[in-house]
Structure 1
Amino acid sequence: MNGSPKMLNDFLKYYATVLRYMDDFISEPISRYHMTFDAFLILHEIGTSTKPILLMDIAANHHVSRSAISRQISTLLKYDYVYQVANPADRRQKSLLLTEKGQATDKQLMHDIQLVFNQWIDKLGTDRIHAMLAFFDDFTHQIVDPHQS
């Protein structure tokens, strides 16, 4: 056994407090716009894409099914954050673009989240935030998706 019972108990304690805290502070402003965090990530990805982006591109980027992404996109369509443009050569392919409302929402949410993130940087320092992000990157590549490197 590699980890001690104390290490596991510490992990469980921090998981229950730190990650819930992070989730609450990120999710709270997003929920005001009738979105989940996943829907916001999709909205932001569409908004920052330099080329037309398709539903299947987003599904591949997020490592989930097209139907899972489709459910999130239906919410974004319902609240007029995104719209679709059919490919003239293949009408089944539809590019996703942000509406003006979607652009404004993405900009506002990024601002709100940046304010919270800046507080973390002010309290913990840039070096510790970089170390945390490096840990998350390692965890993602070694544990969550080791075959994706």
Structure 2
Amino acid sequence: MMNKHIISILVNDQPGVLQRVSGLFGRRGFNIDSITVGSSVETGLSRMIIVTTGDERTIEQVEKQLNKLIDVVQISHLSSKPLVARELAFIKVTAESSKRPEILGVVDTFRASVIDISSDSLIIQVVGELGKIEAMIELLQLYGILELSRTGTTAMLRGDEYNSN
């Protein structure tokens, strides 16, 4: 059965590492739904959070192949454990003055925020799980989305469990 999987990969912060990791997925015919990369606690290491779709056997193969890459330090399959996962989106919508109260109602309902206002548009910031982001985008399409920028998913294990570094 095809499921979404969230994989955390701790890598050496070196040029070309992102290309080698993403290239491995491409060569194997696996799609990356989202990828986020940022610093980790330890200097010289970065953390990649990759969301992909596949069955358990496929994900095991991906993890084995990733472990063969020289700059990969640690791999954790987060989606098999309790986790917190969020995404950030900026949504620029057409917002003539007569529609602004309605749009602000949507913003309040989703606990989002307006981060920029111009005479004809608003930029809305929303943080949350993928379903929340998708639902807000769907509602705001009624008003006219001018531009959309999303970060992709980032995730962390809940509670006392943690990935080192």
More strand by share: 2
TMscore range, shorter length: under 0.3
* TM-score between the two structures when normalised by the length of structure 2: 0.20
Structure with bigger helix share is: 1
* TM-score with structure 1 setting the length: 0.22
Which structure has more RCO (C-alpha within 8 Å, separation ≥ 6)?
A: 2
